[in-house]
Every structure is written in structure tokens, then in C-alpha cells.
Amino acid sequence: MLQIVFNDISAAELSHLPTQIQFHILEALNINSGDLEETLLAKRFGVLERGGKKLYRCRAGDYRIYFAVKDGNVRIHRVLHKNTLADFLYRSNLPGGGEDEALSQSKNFWLLIDEGAKTLKAS
């Protein structure tokens, strides 16, 4: 059975949003156990890779959900407002090769993701 697991930071980010937006975000994610094949995920979501780590980005209106798939489970690393990412890209002076590529190359982005991963309680 597929589980969607939030780390402490992503759960807190989601809980601070109005209920209607929370439902919109979870509806946009909408992943079934049959959808966990890498090629299917890559067609549906943005892909960020660095140092052997692979994250997927789901766009849900003004929000972005960054998640990984491990052991048949979806692990949510961060839930961020899109303006936060645009601001991040601007402040980081990243090249304009696309949002996924720019984030993949950013050390600061991966530190943000790792911060959330440290709070993940599920194995």
C-alpha cells in the first residue's frame, strides 16, 4: 500500500495553509502505487537530480511540492510557495536554464531539502 509521508518541516508548511489550499495541493499530487515508475513520474512532474539524489516537483497552483520516492512510498520534503522559489532563484543568481535545472545545481536548495529530510520519522 502506498504511503505519503511528510517530514516535520513539510507537515508544518502544509498545516499553516488554509484547508482548501491543503486539499488542492494533495489533489494535485494524486499519486497511486501504479504511478511510482520513474518514467511515469518524470512525465508528470519536474525532476531535480544531484549527487545521486532525485526529487520530483509537483506544481499545485501557487505552491510546489518537492518529494522523493523510496521503498514504494512518497516522501514529501518541502511544500513551498512559488514566489519563494522565484525569489530564491533571483537571490542565488542562478543561470536561466529552467527552474528544475537551476535548482538541481543549487547547493542552497539541497540544504533546504536535507533540513527537512533530517526530520523524517518514517523508515
Instruction: Give how far the C-alpha of residue 31 lies from the chain's centroid of Cα atoms, to the nearest Å.
Output: 13
Does residue 123 surpass a pLDDT of 50?
A: no
Does residue 23 surpass a pLDDT of 90?
A: yes
> What pLDDT score was predicted for residue 6?
92
pLDDT in tens, 62-97: 998 999 998 888 999 988 888 876 656 645 655 555
State how far the alpha carbon of 23 is from the alpha carbons of 70, 74, 77, 109, 120, in Å. 23, 17, 18, 26, 22
Contact 6, 117 (CB under 8 A): no
Does residue 122 surpass a pLDDT of 70?
A: no
Alpha carbons 53 and 63: distance in angstroms, whole number:
22
Question: What are the phi and psi torsion angles at 115 (to 5°)?
Answer: -60, -45
What are the strands of the beta sheet with 73-81, ordered from one edge? 4-6, 73-81, 63-70, 53-60, 46-50
Fold of 4-117: YaeB-like fold (3.30.2310)
Q: Pairing between strand 4-6 and 63-70?
A: unpaired
On whether the pTM is more than 0.75, the answer is no
